């Protein structure tokens, strides 16, 4: 059983998956930083100096000026600004993955067009342009 586990763990697919998870986590941190530190501050400035991390909806009915004040008071809040940040990060990651998969699909070899067909009488392989089967001499339709 230990040998089977070792063989399983050292298969290429498992190692590739582990590398992909580690790279995905690192890429996620980069995208989070891109969204939080580079994209959202200018967007907030354009929209009137809004800090998206501070956007919240107070469910208790109190009038709290900031998210920190609402949390300090223990008021239940919906932090939709953080959701917007996560949504923008998701769109960026999804677009990046789309570009990667698109390039991989572009570089993968497409299957070659068939060069032969089967004779309907003897089922032997016959070139596509042949008008007569070389094995049974049957007349073939074009």
Taking only the tens place, the pLDDT of each residue in 3-57 is 888 777 777 677 788 888 998 888 888 888 888 888 888 888 888 877 788 889 9
pLDDT at position 125: 93
CA distance 50 to 109: 49
CA distance 20 to 121: 52
Total residues belonging to the chain: 142
Backbone angles phi, psi at 122, to 5 degrees: -110, -5
Question: Pick from 52, 105, 109: which is nearest to 81 by CA?
Answer: 52
Confidence of residue 76 (pLDDT cuts 50, 70, 90): very high
Q: What is the mean pLDDT of residues 58-85?
A: 89
Q: Reduce the DSSP state of residue 51 to 3 states and report it.
A: coil
The residue whose two tokens read 């940040």 is 85
Residues 126, 142 contacting (CB under 8 angstroms)? no
Tell me the pLDDT tens digit for each residue of 92-142.
888 888 888 888 888 887 888 889 999 999 999 999 898 999 889 888 887
CA distance 140 to 121: 9
């Amino acid at each position: 059983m230990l040998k089977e586990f070792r063989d399983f763990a050292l298969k290429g697919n498992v190692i590739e998956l582990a590398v992909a998870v580690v790279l995905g986590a690192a890429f996620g941190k980069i995208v989070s930083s891109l969204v939080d530190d580079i994209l959202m501050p200018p967007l907030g400035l354009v929209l009137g100096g809004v800090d998206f991390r501070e956007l919240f909806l107070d469910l208790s009915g109190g009038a709290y000026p900031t998210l920190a004040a609402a949390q300090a008071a223990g008021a239940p809040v919906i932090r939709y600004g953080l959701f917007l940040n996560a949504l923008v990060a998701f769109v960026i990651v999804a677009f990046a993955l789309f570009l990667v998969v698109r390039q991989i699909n572009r570089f993968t070899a497409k299957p070659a067009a068939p060069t032969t067909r089967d004779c309907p009488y003897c089922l032997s392989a016959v070139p596509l342009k042949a008008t007569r089967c070389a094995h049974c001499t049957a007349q073939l339709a074009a």
